[in-house]
């Protein structure tokens, strides 16, 4: 399991060579990655602002989808 206090650079280096299941994050891991409180992450996910899916009642997130979402957010105000 990934330590939730990782930095983005460290995390990207750490995931090289890991299995596909490591590309699925919990809400705690997502919040740490985005540097949000878990409560804020839950609120954004519940509103549909962050892409995620539920497994057995628990939220899960695709690392690749989160990276794409970040790119979309970053590019949205550049006109």
Interval 24-62: pLDDT, tens: 999 999 999 999 999 999 999 999 999 999 999 999 999
Let me know if 72 is exposed, middle or buried by CB neighbors in 10 A (0-12, 13-18, 19+).
exposed
- The C-alpha angle 7, 72, 24, rounded to 5 degrees, equals 50
Neighbours of 42 (CB within 10 A): 17
Bridge partners of 58, per DSSP, are 55
Instruction: Over range 55-73, report the average pLDDT.
Output: 94
Phi/psi for 51 (5° steps) reads -70, 130
Q: Are 44 and 50 in contact (CB under 8 A)?
A: yes
Q: Where are the domains of the chain?
A: 8-75
Say whether domain 8-75 belongs to CATH 2.60.40.
no
pLDDT at 1 over 50: no
pLDDT at 33: 94
pLDDT at 75: 84
pLDDT at 9 over 80: no
């Amino acid at each position: 399991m990934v330590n939730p206090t990782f930095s983005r650079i460290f995390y990207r280096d750490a995931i090289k060579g890991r299995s596909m299941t490591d590309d699925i994050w919990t809400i705690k891991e997502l919040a740490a990655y985005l540097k949000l409180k878990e409560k804020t992450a839950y609120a954004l996910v519940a509103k549909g602002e962050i892409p995620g899916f539920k497994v057995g009642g628990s939220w899960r997130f695709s690392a690749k989808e989160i990276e794409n979402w970040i790119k979309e957010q970053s590019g949205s105000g550049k006109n």
